[in-house]
Amino acid sequence: MEGFLLKKKQLQTDMIHEAYDANEHLGSISIPIFQTSTFEMETFEKGMNLFAGKEEGYTYSRLQNPTVEILEKRMATLESAEAGLAFSSGMGAISAVLMHVLKANDHLICSASLYGSTYSLLELLQEKMNITVEFTNFSSQEELSKMIQSNTSCIYIETPVNPTMEIYDLEMIAQIAHTHNIPTVVDNTFATPYIQRPIELGCSIVVHSATKFLNGHGDVVAGIAVGKKEMMDSIRKSTQRDIGATLAPMSAWLLLRGLKTFSLRMEKHCENAEKAAAFLQNHPLVEQVYFPGNDLATKEVFKKQMKCAGGVIAFSIKGNIDDVHTFLNRLRLIKLAVSLGDAESLIQHPASMTHKQIPQEEREEMGISETLVRFSVGLEAWTDIEADLEEAFAGLSI
């Protein structure tokens, strides 16, 4: 109908339509790939104004690209943020954000467990910038308030935690952080905006490994950061521009394509994961299952901030490391591979793979034992996933 405008679209619609008008691109329903490194500037004066920030436009794809820009705007909308930035990896996004908010001799409060490469990055920042990192499980407002120092410049949170799936009360953390004017950075890779939107809970910046559920097809490595426009503009002009971990146009296009089926994929991931969690909890060879919502201590937090538990499970196998090796080597449908969020079910051993760089004693404090495996439940028929698990368990003589 002529003149009709959707004033408030649903998340499923934004995933497909946000920030793109086909009429501005010769009617192309598929978003064009602006596969160019540089852009012509009509006049010398135009070029000066573009680089001075007095006019909007494109000069060089490391700084801004039309295909990438559509992805950035779409992700900002999905996360209820004002603006977004796209990076060449999730670690590119995390590095740029942390290096922007931190300076030498600052204090960083961090969730007790972390992805291995994030942990290594923090070690590097401690070595190069004398950053003090203090870990916590955010057990209470009082505990968090006591940890804040005059030089605390950021609170960094993974929730759910990779790989042990703990969840933290983002609203509580954000309230304390706002009181002290400290930015909160949340890695929302596992939950995605389909399940949890930290900015709506008061957090400052959200980062993603877009390689995972956002893309969903295992063919892109990418990262996303979203937050207030002023902050994102500042990061774009500093650590993103100068470190240079920007996303290629083709990768942005693949991510935009993946987002079109994002909500449908997440529904199936979550459905299969619920079945897998129930299966594992009842299996005699499984010691413990780690899945959001299972822990009575955080049940209310789960209900408050998460739509569902997500598509990733961790579980520990009864026995020893040799039994884990046997189990993983017997799987056929479920692929032994790092990463998560692909159409294929993926499984891996954190202690020897994604979290290997964390010292053993600290890994164990995080709950990452030698018998823990991380399982990203895919989109296959549940009965086939179940049969593969059963066959792998059948080879154990515990």
- The backbone torsions φ and ψ at residue 350, rounded to the nearest 5 degrees and listed phi first, read -55, -40
What is the distance between the alpha carbons of residues 141 and 175, in angstroms, rounded to a whole number?
9
CB 213 within 8 A of CB 196: no
> Model-level pTM?
0.95
Mean pLDDT of all residues in the chain?
A: 95
CB 69 within 8 A of CB 32: no
Residue 31 CA to its chain's centroid (Å): 24
| Average pLDDT, integer, range 206-214 | 98
Which pLDDT band holds residue 398 (cuts at 50, 70, 90)? confident
- Kindly list the structural domains of the chain, giving each domain's residue range(s) and its CATH number in brackets, ordered by start: 11-259 (3.40.640.10), 262-394 (3.90.1150.10)
What is the distance between the alpha carbons of residues 294 and 367, in angstroms, rounded to a whole number?
16
With a cut of 50, say whether residue 131 has pLDDT above it.
yes
CB 293 within 8 A of CB 328: no
pLDDT for 7: 58
What is the distance between the alpha carbons of residues 242 and 253, in angstroms, rounded to a whole number?
23
pLDDT for 2: 39
| CA nearest to 92, candidates 251, 223, 239 | 223
Which secondary structure element, helix H or strand E, spans residue 185, and what is its range? strand 184-187
CB 141 within 8 A of CB 172: yes
- The backbone torsions φ and ψ at residue 194, rounded to the nearest 5 degrees and listed phi first, read -65, -35
CB 203 within 8 A of CB 171: no
Q: How far is CA 337 from CA 214, 255, 344, 367, in A?
A: 18, 21, 10, 21
One-letter amino acid of 295: D
pLDDT for 260: 97
pLDDT digits (tens, 9 = 90+) for 225-243: 999 999 999 999 999 999 9
pLDDT digits (tens, 9 = 90+) for 372-396: 999 999 999 999 999 999 999 999 9
pLDDT digits (tens, 9 = 90+) for 229-288: 999 999 999 999 999 999 999 999 999 999 999 999 999 999 999 999 999 999 999 999
Which pLDDT band holds residue 8 (cuts at 50, 70, 90)? low
pLDDT for 203: 98
pLDDT for 396: 94
pLDDT for 9: 76
- Computed on alpha carbons and rounded to an integer, the radius of gyration of the chain in Å comes to 22
With a cut of 70, say whether residue 6 has pLDDT above it.
no
| Average pLDDT, integer, range 312-326 | 97
With a cut of 60, say whether residue 50 has pLDDT above it.
yes
pLDDT for 3: 41
CB 142 within 8 A of CB 346: no
With a cut of 80, say whether residue 4 has pLDDT above it.
no
CB 301 within 8 A of CB 198: no
